[in-house]
Amino acid sequence: MALSLMDTGQVGVIAASIDASQGTDAAITTRDGAASMVRNAAGDYTVTFGASFLSTPVVVATPVDATFSTLAEHSAIVQAVDTDTVQFNIITNATNGTVTALADIDFHFIVVGARNR
C-alpha cells in the first residue's frame, strides 16, 4: 500500500511544532500553513489540517523538553485522530509513578496519509 501511494503521488505529509511554553498563547509552526491549532486546556491541543486526508492518517508526536529532570518525564499522546483533525495530550509523569498531569510542553509532530492532489 505505501508503495502504491508513493507511485500515485497521493502521500501527504505535515510536519510541525507546537510552542506550548506560552500557555494560552501557544502557537503552531508549519512551513506552509498546512495546519492550524487551538489549545483546549493545559496540555490539550487540537490541530486541524488545511486539507482533509482520504482516510485516517498516521500521527507521531514527541515532546521537546529543554530541561532534564530526574523527577519527571514527559509524553506526547495522540488522543484522537480523524481525516480532518488530531488531538494531542502532553503529560508529565512523576518518575515514581504517582502523579500524572497535562502540561504545556513544546512538542513536534508528523502526520502521514493519503490525500488527493
pLDDT in tens, 30-64: 767 788 889 999 999 999 998 899 999 999 999 98
The verdict on pTM exceeding 0.95 is no
**What is the residue extent of each domain of the chain?**
2-114
The average pLDDT across 65-81 equals 81
> Secondary structure of 70-91 in the HEC alphabet?
CCEEEEEEEEEECCCEEEEEEE
The pLDDT value given to residue 89? 95
| pLDDT digit string, tens, across residues 78-94 | 999 999 999 999 988 87
Query: Cα angle vertex 37, ends 19, 34, to 5°?
Result: 100
Structural domain 2-114, CATH architecture: Sandwich (2.60)
The pLDDT value given to residue 97? 67
Name the band, by pLDDT with cuts 50, 70 and 90, for residue 115: confident
Distance, in Å, from the CA atom of 63 to the CA atom of 17, rounded to the nearest integer, reads 10
